[in-house]
Structure formats: structure tokens, C-alpha cells
Amino acid sequence: MTKQPTRLDAPPETLDDDPPLSSLMTRRLVGITPDASLGVALRLMATAEVRHLPVIDGGRCLGIVTEADVVRAVAAGQLACPGPPVPVAVLCRKAPTLDPHDGRGIAAGHMHTTGIDAVLITDDTRLIGIVTATDIVRSLARADPTEP
């Protein structure tokens, strides 16, 4: 009697447990230059209704400024300080960059380890999207089998 090989294929209901970031990402990006002031960043976030601004310099993404970063700067008095306006570059943080084919779990792991609630999605060196914690929560809510 020949022994059948063990089958390790995932059942169909688990195939979409970790969707690719390309299916979650926002492609409409609103960015800012590193020399822009905090005031400009605040107004841009408010008018564009975004919470994250990729910082772009000459076509290259330097990092990200989040709503929380700007609020902390305002609370520290950086917006109202005398002298020249504080540039966004002061708040820019290096954000994780992932491939659009990476899964949701990889993005969540990077958000957890870096403390930044977003990851930037790149195609080689070109910025093509952003995935935020809100995007991950929404995708998990859609996948919740307990909801009708």
C-alpha cells in the first residue's frame, strides 16, 4: 500500500485572510515638500481630509508626517513660536515602505514595531500608495465572518 502525501493546501475560506496591500491602499496621495511650514501642513490636511502627508523632495519620498506629529508640534508651541516658520522636515519620520504584493499582516507588523500608523507603498522607488491603520481596520471588518 502506497502512502498518500500529506496535503497542505489551505482551505478556500483562508485564501483571502491576508489580502495584498494593492487591494487596501489609497492611490490618491497628498504630499508636501520638506520646506513647507507646519501651518501649511495643517491646512493641507484639513482641506484634503487626510491624516498623513508623504514628504516629497524632487520626486523622492523622504518619509511621512502624520496628524499626530503635527498636533504634538502644535501642543509644544512650535506653530506659535516667534521667528521663521518651522518646516515640515523637522517632523518628517522615515516610514516603512512595502511592496503592493505584500500582505496586510506585514503592514500591521510594521505599524506595530515603528509606532507609525501608516506604511508607504512603492513600486521599485516610486511612491504609488499609502495604507493606514484605518485601511487595515476596514478590511478586517469586511472580512469578519460573524457579521451578516
Least confident of 13-22, 33-42, 43-52, 88-97: 13-22
Is 13 a residue whose pLDDT tops 90? no
Residue 24's closest CA among 135, 137, 140, 141?
Answer: 135
Is 1 a residue whose pLDDT tops 80? no
Q: pTM for the complete prediction?
A: 0.81
H helix runs in the chain, sequence order: 38-48, 67-75, 104-114, 133-142
Domain 19-142: which CATH class? alpha beta
**pLDDT tens sequence across 94-107:** 999 999 999 999 99
CA distance 51 to 133: 11
**pLDDT tens sequence across 65-88:** 999 998 888 888 877 766 678 899
